């Protein structure tokens, strides 16, 4: 017979058990990082040229192999697939690292001067292009509500097609999922499908595991792991008979000859996101090129332009390409900061005295993005934006919608009415800068009753010029934002205004007499005057000369608006360490994380071991970590090779994901809530470039690839939730005691009688 206290004890036992073992809501994290495999860069007689990429061999969504491009002693390039399955078999730190074996190797590909620039992987779908004939009434099959399905995001809903939400509301979906429109699923029509015939072996999901490589001459190649099917038997072919076959090679630059590449990025967009049968390959870069066929000894007319091309993943056909005139990006964004205390209470918390504006506002290249696509820009994966080195160049396929104000303006223009320019609003005006002006609907808005749209319709480019948005269908440029390098851009306080965070460290030499002062120099010099408490009449050159003698900059500043209109907060990142630094101060790229209340928080690290977390809405410091108190804490001399990012883990909530800081000599896993060091791992050799964060074990947790001059080192990261071992032992003993008491009560001399009973 169960009493009320028995029920309470049972509930308490379940809560303790859940808290002690793998509770995703628990903030108690434990993490380890250990060396799982290594691969010499002179691997199997070949020299590794570009960073490797993980490959999903069987199409189940988990990576089991590593794709690399090597050059053999004969100067021939080959593509290899390396086995990473041993890394997924164990997470024990005492197991010695293994050297991955070569599973497949392609035929020699190219000779001569062309070299690989970038490689990526994906699945070229072959059985998704089916001729479909609906059995139901065509008028019913065209009803868009039949394509409303539940998922964590649009891609998840379009892939699973598991739960139909005919009302278009999230109430029809399980917890944690929303209702999405325009999916390729159809809840009503039963289709007669005619599969495309192919003689190639496919994965169970109907795709070809493929490796895409971009070469320095503009050539793009695609290798697929497949083989010819035996028509007589139609049986699954043994793995040893598969081959890494060159499916196609196409030139991506039309009639242009590439001379030098920067900001190179290649992205594989699958068929669902691309909206076609097989998928799409996006190639982008900042290119020096020539259009005339000239000999090497002749003078070549060199032109420079950002470039992007979309290619069909199955055939390599160029779907569209776009070249942007360099003059379109010449308008730079200055760094003026308004006088302290004039517009924002946040400046009263500033640890740095006020700066005076030193530059005028240039151009309006950013007006289109921040006006017509403000909401999509601020709430999509287009932000945060940061460009610290060439490795930050990227291209993403996202979904953008026009803002409500832009739609109203377009309607007025079509109706023939004159459209007056939008008058500027004061900072702090909720209707101007908040989310109530159509940027994000309120809870009572009717828009919340509509299904979310998420099918990608634009590509967003991140490069040294800033951010550019283009149409996914035809490559037409939609808008552009000119942004500073080495600056983090995001909406810190959730007010609908794009904010920026800059880190200024080290000593800055005064300019030469004939050197032209740019906005960045003036910004730094004014910052020096404030830190050193110099008189305002002191010239910028004298300020820098005195700064070398007195102090070294180690500060961060958060500014609001593009271009900057006010200062949100500023902070000293080193404290007393900045007065007499033991190393040349160098900051790491800042990291934006989920805020403790609303908006974003910022993680900032300096190579003297100081790591901070600041609340973006108020500038209040959440925690501070002094890395010199920990053994093997990361250090670096060049901020471009530092990785400050998050560890993705399936059993951890997004706000509790650990932070990884990887420098030249080691890496550290940090707790995001408390700033504790969860684990560290020292590198056998100094890192030569920024570590690559990928999941090479297929367990859903981000791992780290460290690239040195001689080898590639794979560090497996394991993240667990729950309490300490001691707490687990106590909970286990408590559960055993409760079980023994229950057995004694049921099967003892007097069953059902308690010691407290009369």
Would you list the DSSP string of 503-549?
A: EEEE--PPPPTTPPP-HHHHHHHHHHHHHTT--TTS-HHHHHHHHHH
Same domain, 270 and 238: yes
Rounded distance between C-alpha atoms, residue 311 and residue 251, angstroms? 10
Pair (10, 59) in one structural domain: no
* Beta pairing partners, 272: none
pLDDT in tens, 332-361: 444 444 333 333 444 444 555 444 333 333
159-193 pLDDT, tens digit per residue, is 888 899 988 888 889 888 889 988 888 876 554 44
User: Residue 81: beta bridge partners?
Assistant: 67, 104
Domain check: are 230 and 291 in the same one? Answer: yes
Helix or strand or coil: residue 144? Answer: helix
Q: Residue 221 domain-assigned? A: yes
Establish if 160 belongs to a structural domain.
yes
205 pLDDT more than 70: yes
Q: Average pLDDT, stretch 444-466?
A: 77
573 within some domain: yes
Q: Tell me the sheet residues that pair with 116.
A: 215
Q: What pLDDT does residue 522 have?
A: 64
Max CA distance (Å), the chain: 109
> Among positive and negative, which fits the CA dihedral 628, 633, 635, 641?
negative
How many other C-beta atoms are found inside a 10 Å radius of the C-beta of residue 740?
A: 10
Please indicate, yes or no, if residue 401 is contained in any of the structural domains. Answer: no
Within a domain: residue 352? yes
Q: Which of 315-324, 414-423, 441-450 has the lowest mean pLDDT?
A: 441-450
Query: Mean pLDDT across the stretch 205-233?
Result: 87
Per DSSP, the three-state class of 280 is strand
Final residue in a domain of this structure, among 515, 548, 578? 578
On whether both 305 and 280 belong to a single domain, the answer is yes
Burial class (CB in 10 A: 0-12, 13-18, 19+), 723: middle
Amino acid 144: pLDDT:
67
In a domain, 701, yes or no: no
Rounded to whole angstroms, the Cα distance separating 350 from 567 reads: 8
| 46 Cβ contact partners less than 8 Å away, ≥ 6 residues apart | 70, 71, 72, 78, 80
pLDDT value at residue 575: 72
Q: Do 258 and 123 share a structural domain?
A: yes
Strand 600-605: give its sheet, edge to edge. 591-594, 600-605, 610-615, 621-626
**Alpha-carbon gap, residue 753 to 758, rounded angstroms:** 9
What is the average pLDDT across 593-612?
A: 90
Whole-model pTM above 0.85? no
Domain boundary among 555, 578, 601: 578
- Nearest by Cα to 81 from 257, 281, 274, 226: 226
Higher pLDDT, 170 or 756: 170
Which positions ≥6 away from 70 have C-beta within 8 Å?
Answer: 43, 44, 46, 47, 48, 49, 77, 78, 79, 80
Asked whether residue 219 falls in the same domain as residue 336, the answer is no
Q: Which residues contact 127 (CB under 8 A, 6 or more apart)?
A: 195, 196, 198, 202, 206
Question: What percent of the chain stands above pLDDT 70?
Answer: 67
**Roughly how many angstroms between the first and final C-alpha of the chain, as a whole number?**
16
Distance (Å, rounded) from C-alpha 391 to C-alpha 264? 8
Burial of 620 (0-12, 13-18, 19+ CB in 10 A): middle
Are residues 571 and 490 both part of a single domain?
yes
More confident residue, 133 or 572: 572
Domains of the chain: total? 4
d(CA 308, CA 285) in angstroms, rounded, equals 7
Are the C-beta atoms of residues 70 and 741 closer than 8 Å to each other? Answer: no
- Asked whether residue 706 is assigned to any structural domain, the reply reads no
DSSP 587-610: BPPPEEEE-SSSSEEEEEEBTTSE
CA distance 51 to 498: 33
Same domain, 61 and 137: no
Strands (DSSP E) found in 254-385: 257-269, 280-290, 303-312, 318-323
What is the spatial distance between Cα 663 and Cα 686, in angstroms, rounded to a whole number? 9
Last residue of a domain, one of 308, 327, 346: 327
Helical ranges in 551-700 per DSSP H = none
340 and 303 inside one domain: no
Residue 305 inside a domain? The answer is: yes
pLDDT given for residue 438 in this prediction: 39
- pLDDT digits over 675-697, tens only? 999 999 999 999 989 999 999 98
The tokens of 593 are what? 């994380």
Q: Are residues 115 and 222 in the same domain?
A: yes
**Stretch 371-381: mean pLDDT, rounded?**
86
Regarding whether 212 and 164 lie in a shared domain, the answer is: no
Q: Does 492 score more than 70 pLDDT?
A: yes
Residue 676: CB partners within 8 Å, gap ≥ 6?
A: 625, 670
Buried b (16+ CB within 10 A) or exposed e, 399-408: bbebbebbee
123 and 142 both lie in a single domain: no
pLDDT by residue (tens digit) across 626-642?
988 888 899 999 888 99
Q: Are 178 and 170 in contact (CB under 8 A)?
A: yes
Count of beta carbons in the 10 Å neighbourhood of residue 89: 10
Q: What is the pLDDT of residues 97-137, one digit of tens each?
A: 899 999 999 998 865 568 899 999 999 988 644 444 444 44
| Token couple for 114 | 């062309």
Q: Give one DSSP letter per residue of 240-264, joined into a string.
A: GG-EEEEEEEEESSTT-EEEEEEEE
Q: What is the percentage of the chain residues whose pLDDT exceeds 90?
A: 31
Residues 291-297: contacts with CB within 8 Å, 24+ apart?
291/255, 291/256, 291/257, 293/257
Confidence bin at 22 (pLDDT 50/70/90): low
Output 198 or 256, whichever has higher pLDDT: 256
Is the pLDDT confidence value at 88 over 60? yes
Burial of 474 (0-12, 13-18, 19+ CB in 10 A): exposed
Q: What value, to the nearest 5°, has the Cα angle with vertex 347 and ends 342 and 353? A: 95
* Structural domain span for residue 8: 4-21+723-747
């Amino acid at each position: 017979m169960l009493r009320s206290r028995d029920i309470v004890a049972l509930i308490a036992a379940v809560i303790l058990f859940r808290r002690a073992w793998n509770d995703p809501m628990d903030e108690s994290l434990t993490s380890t990082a250990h060396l799982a495999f290594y691969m010499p860069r002179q691997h199997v007689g070949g020299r590794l040229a570009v960073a490797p990429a993980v490959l999903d061999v069987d199409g189940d969504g988990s990576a089991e192999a590593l794709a690399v491009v090597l050059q053999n002693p004969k100067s021939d390039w080959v593509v290899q697939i390396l086995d990473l399955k041993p890394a997924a078999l164990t997470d024990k730190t005492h197991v010695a690292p293994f050297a991955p074996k070569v599973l497949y190797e392609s035929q020699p590909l190219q000779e001569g001067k062309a070299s690989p620039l970038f490689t990526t992987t994906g699945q070229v779908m072959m059985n998704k292009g089916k001729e479909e004939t609906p059995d139901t009434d065509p008028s019913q099959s065209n009803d868009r509500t039949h394509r409303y399905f539940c998922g964590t995001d649009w891609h998840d809903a379009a892939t699973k097609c598991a739960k139909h939400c005919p009302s278009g509301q999230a109430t029809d979906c399980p917890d944690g999922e929303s209702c999405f429109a325009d999916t390729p699923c159809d809840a009503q029509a039963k289709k007669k499908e005619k599969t495309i015939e192919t003689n190639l072996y496919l994965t169970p999901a109907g795709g070809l595991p493929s490796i895409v490589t971009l070469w320095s001459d503009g050539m793009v190649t695609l290798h697929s792991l497949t083989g010819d099917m035996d028509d007589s038997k139609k049986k699954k072919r043994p793995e040893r008979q598969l081959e890494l076959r060159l499916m196609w090679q196409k030139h991506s630059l039309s009639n242009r000859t590439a001379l030098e590449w920067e900001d190179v990025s290649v992205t594989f967009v699958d068929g669902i996101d691309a909206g076609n049968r097989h998928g799409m390959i996006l190639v982008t870069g900042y290119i020096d090129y020539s259009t005339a066929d000239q000999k090497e000894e002749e003078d070549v007319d060199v032109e420079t332009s950002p470039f992007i091309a979309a290619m069909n993943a199955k055939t390599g056909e160029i779907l569209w390409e776009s070249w942007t005139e360099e003059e379109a990006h010449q308008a730079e964004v200055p760094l003026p900061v308004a006088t302290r205390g004039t517009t924002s209470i946040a400046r009263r918390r500033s640890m740095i005295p006020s700066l005076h504006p030193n530059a005028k506002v240039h151009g309006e290249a950013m007006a289109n993005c921040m006006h017509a696509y403000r909401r999509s820009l601020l709430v999509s994966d287009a932000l945060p934006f940061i460009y610290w080195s060439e490795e930050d160049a990227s291209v993403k396929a996202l979904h953008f919608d026009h803002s409500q104000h832009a739609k109203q303006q377009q309607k007025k223009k079509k109706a023939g009415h004159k459209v007056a320019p939008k008058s500027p609003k004061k900072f702090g005006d909720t209707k101007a800068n908040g989310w109530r002006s159509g940027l994000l609907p309120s809870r009572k808005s009717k828009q919340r009753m509509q299904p979310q749209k998420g099918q990608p319709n634009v590509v967003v480019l991140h490069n040294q010029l800033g951010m550019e948005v283009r149409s996914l269908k035809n490559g037409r440029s939609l808008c552009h934002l000119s942004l500073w390098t080495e600056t983090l851009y995001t909406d810190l306080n959730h007010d609908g205004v794009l904010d920026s965070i800059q880190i200024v460290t080290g000593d800055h030499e005064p300019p030469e007499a004939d050197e032209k002062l740019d906005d960045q120099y003036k910004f730094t010099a004014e910052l020096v005057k404030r830190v050193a408490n110099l008189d305002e009449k002191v010239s910028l050159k004298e300020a820098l000369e005195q700064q070398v003698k007195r102090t070294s900059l180690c500060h961060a500043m958060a500014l609001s608006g593009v271009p900057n209109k006010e200062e949100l907060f500023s902070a000293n990142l080193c404290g007393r360490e900045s007065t007499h630094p033991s190393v040349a101060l160098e900051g790491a790229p800042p990291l934006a994380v989920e805020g403790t209340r609303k908006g974003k928080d910022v993680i900032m690290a300096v190579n003297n071991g100081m790591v901070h977390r600041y609340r973006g809405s108020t500038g209040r410091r959440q925690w501070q970590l002094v890395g010199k108190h920990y053994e093997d804490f990361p250090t670096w001399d060049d901020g471009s090779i530092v990785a400050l990012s998050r560890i993705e883990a399936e059993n951890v909530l997004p706000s509790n994901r650990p932070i990884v800081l990887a420098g030249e000599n080691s890496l550290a896993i940090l707790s995001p809530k408390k700033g504790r060091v969860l684990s560290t791992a020292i590198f056998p050799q100094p890192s030569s470039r920024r570590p690559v964060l990928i999941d090479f074990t297929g367990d859903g947790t981000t791992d780290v690839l460290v690239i040195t001059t001689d080898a590639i080192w794979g560090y497996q990261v394991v993240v667990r939730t729950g309490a300490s071992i001691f707490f687990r032992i106590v909970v286990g003993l408590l559960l055993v005691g409760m079980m023994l008491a229950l057995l004694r009560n049921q099967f003892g001399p007097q069953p059902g009688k308690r010691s407290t009973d009369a």
